[in-house]
Amino acid sequence: MSQPWYASIPKLGFGLMRLPTLPGGGQKDIDFAKVQEMIDLYMSRGFSWFDTAYVYHEGHSEEVVKNCLLPKYPRESFQVVDKIPLWGIRSYEDYEPVLRTQLERTGLEYLDVLFLHGIGTGQLQLIDDTRGWDFLKSAKERGLVKHIGFSFHSPADTLELILDKHPEIEVVQLQLNYLDWESPDVQSHACYEACRRHGVGVTVMEPVKGGSLADPHPDVAAIFKAADPQASVASWAVRFAASLDGIITVLSGMSTLAQVEDNTKTMLDFRPITPEERKIIGKAVAKFNDIPLIPCTGCRYCAPDCPQKINIPGIINALNDYTKYRNDAGLRRSYGRIVGQGGKASDCVGCRSCEQHCPQHLRITQHLQKAAELFE
């Protein structure tokens, strides 16, 4: 039996989405000098897969390929994945300019993999109406890309439907980590099995859940440290994903040289997760599920009468994530998105209308004060 096309690709990919930026700058102000150091270390250790997208770093992530890879490394020594967003697509003709812009930004003559970005149940009609699947095939036939696929954020039954109808798909990118493995919302396990049944390769996103599984609750971290004091907590999550059959590579959105050092060290000396280690991961998941959280049900009874239009359930969810993960940087980004369309936690005027409407009798005002202290 012949090996799949991705068999020789090292199983650690570099996600170009959380890159260091210049002091005082925004997301578009990438610190290319620091990124160059990170890429040089990554490449020197035999890794080669770079994952970018049209929208990462406000459209500037793709420039890393042109600025840091092409001047120093032969084209055949690395692979580049890029993604076409769907929110600007209205017709078949809209796809081509995006791909041409991607090739210009990266400086490449071809992409190794082209994805439709972040698709799910809600986008299927748009893709069919605009013949997005046909565009992927056309790009491959014209030699502009080598392989085609999509990144996916929906239930497994939707994924089954797509793969049944489109056998031309070669790669699917899935959110896959040990905490989401049996999650009824993310359905990592079920989605992975759908790809296996269809013979489709999988690239893994969020193996460390946006950094959350690198710095979890101390009780969770203690389980891993007791099992292997020398291994980082993040390495357990990366190894869990990389141990699965049919995985092309496991992406890490690395932000620092230290993260590159840790991840490459883990994967240079890669050891698949053993049955005994799976039991340890199971204990960690059980501990995650036992952590006491604010018992908000997300009913939103608290929200309509809030004079400051605060997204109270969203903020409480961020507090619960802080309790579980302690991932300060990631949670501040998440908090920024949560309050982007309404009031901040610190805008609370203490009227307690929310508390009068809460079926769980939560002390919402106190929780908002804590959120303001943590996230603002």
Kindly write down the DSSP assignment for every residue of 98-140, as one continuous string.
HHHHHHHHHT-S-EEEEEEEEE-GGGHHHHHHTTHHHHHHHHH
pLDDT at 329: 65
Residue 34 has φ and ψ, to the nearest 5°, of -65, -40
How do the domains of the chain map onto residue ranges?
Answer: 12-283, 312-375
In DSSP terms, 116 is beta-bridged to: 84, 150
Q: CA 235, CA 174: separation in Å to the nearest integer?
A: 19
User: Rounded to an integer, what distance in angstroms lies between the CA atom of residue 94 and that of residue 107?
Assistant: 21
Q: Which residues, at least 6 apart from 288, have a Cβ–Cβ distance to it below 8 Å?
A: 179, 216, 217, 220, 324
Q: Is 0.75 surpassed by the pTM of this model?
A: yes
From the list 273, 275, 214, the residue with the least C-alpha distance to 245 is 273
With tokens 């239009």, the residue in question is 309
Residues of the chain below pLDDT 70: 1, 327-330
As a residue count, the chain comes to 376
CATH 3.20.20.100 assigned to domain 12-283? The reply is yes
pLDDT, position 24: 87
Question: How many CA within 13 A on the CB side of residue 370?
Answer: 15
132-153 pLDDT per residue, tens: 999 999 999 999 999 999 999 8
> In this structure, what are the phi and psi dihedrals at residue 204, rounded to the nearest 5 degrees?
-100, 125
Tokens of 171: 């790669």
Which residues on neighbouring strands pair with residue 250, listed in sequence order?
12, 204
Q: How far apart are CA 315 and CA 178, in angstroms?
A: 25
Give the separation between CA 52 and CA 65, rounded to whole angstroms: 9
The whole-angstrom separation of Cα 1 and Cα 3 is 7
Strand partners, 148: 114
In angstroms, the CA 212 to CA 82 distance is 25
CA 92-165-89 angle, to 5 degrees, is: 20
